[in-house]
Amino acid sequence: MSTVLSLFQDETSSIITFILVFGLGVWATVGLPNFYLMFIEKIGNASFSDLLVSMSKLVKSLIFTIIISLVVFVSTFIVMFVVGGAIASFIFTDITLGLGAIIGILVICLFIIALTIFDLALVLTPYIIIEHEHLSTIEAMSLSIKMMKGNKWRYFVIQLSFIGWAILAILTLGIGYLWLIPYVSLTQANFYRDLSFNSINN
pLDDT averages per 10-residue partition of the chain, 202 residues: 56 82 93 94 87 94 95 87 70 61 79 92 96 94 95 95 92 90 94 82 52
Residues 6+ apart with CB under 8 A from 132: 140, 143
- What is the Cα–Cα distance from 196 to 126, expressed in whole angstroms? 13
| DSSP 8-state secondary structure symbol assigned to residue 173 | T
Instruction: Report the pLDDT value the prediction gives residue 53, as an integer from 0 to 100.
Output: 93
* pLDDT computed for residue 63 by the predictor: 96
pTM comes to: 0.84
Closest residue by Cα to residue 190 from 127, 116, 144: 127
Residue 77: per-residue pLDDT: 86
- Measured distance CA(39)–CA(51) in Å, rounded: 11
Q: Which of the 8 DSSP states describes residue 48?
A: G
pLDDT at residue 91 in the model: 64
What are residue 166's phi and psi, to 5 degrees?
-65, -40
What pLDDT shows up at residue 197? 75
pLDDT at 201: 52
